[in-house]
Structure 1
């Protein structure tokens, strides 16, 4: 049994299964058409490094795919209530190309595996599009996996 939720798992409602699908089919692999249909034009991302627009988040996803070979975006736990979904998300891949979306500047690859665990809360518009996301993750741990020595002020 996989540690991740399948988009076909009927224990979850359709909105939750769509969240699993968008991670696999349009975040982990480039499919801007699917992303554009899923995200609202006025989408706002609230993260540890500040807020981002949908266009900025889409660029972040592209930078992740470019830097991490075998990039994956999977959901581990989903709780759905009304217009909100809460999720434990796992992004992973092997760091094989420069990462240009780092909060501290471009980071050179170290060839090592990366696993970023996130806690997300998503809010949807009445039309079903994703309107807002709040996310927390361990930025320091993420940077350490990428080989950044934070003790030297990098």
Structure 2
């Protein structure tokens, strides 16, 4: 993020909120180039992402939920690692990963662990996102998960154009 060494715990604790403000508050996707090291690797719900794939994921999220707001906390800093929890709220007013807008407001949670280099740039991130909870809130997945509910979810995904 800078060429100056970032070595204070409090400065590292602020990194995730700064990311949220820049990427989703300001829709500034170029900030990812500053925030991530060029060889950054992301691990999202078991899938490995490059910087370009991550940027596309954020572009889709902004397109589908342009009013998305992230609240970050608590955040724990241990050496080069920063871990925490986030809550995103937003209204599904645009297409999102092939899903047509539902105009529903969602509250989605996730956890992250990011490792930073000596200049304060993220080099590796692990993140888990409550994707099923999001689908439930969008009306795609049933509130009660049963075999019949799974069948309805598949039908809803087909109907939504996925």
Normalising by structure 1, we get a TM-score of 0.81
1:13 CA displacement: 0.6
Task: Report the structure, 1 or 2, having the larger strand content.
Answer: 1
Larger Rg: 2
Unaligned 5+ residue runs, structure 1?
Answer: 1-11, 101-105
Shift of 1:140: 1.3
Q: Which has the higher helix share?
A: 2
What is the alpha-carbon distance in structure 2 between the residues aligned to residue 142 and residue 49 of structure 1? 18
Correspondence for 1:93 among 84, 90, 93: 90
**Does residue 18 of the first structure (1) align with residue 15 of the second (2)?**
yes
Is the partner of 1:127 in helix, strand or coil?
A: coil
- When the two chains are superposed, the root-mean-square deviation of aligned CA atoms in Å is 1.6
SS in structure 2 opposite 1:32?
Answer: coil
Length, aligned pairs only = 138
Match of 1:121 among 113, 116, 135: 113
Structure 2 stretches of 5 or more lacking a match? 1-8, 142-149, 158-162
Output aligned runs, 1:43-62, within 5 Å. 43-62=40-59
Q: TM-score, normalised by structure 2?
A: 0.78
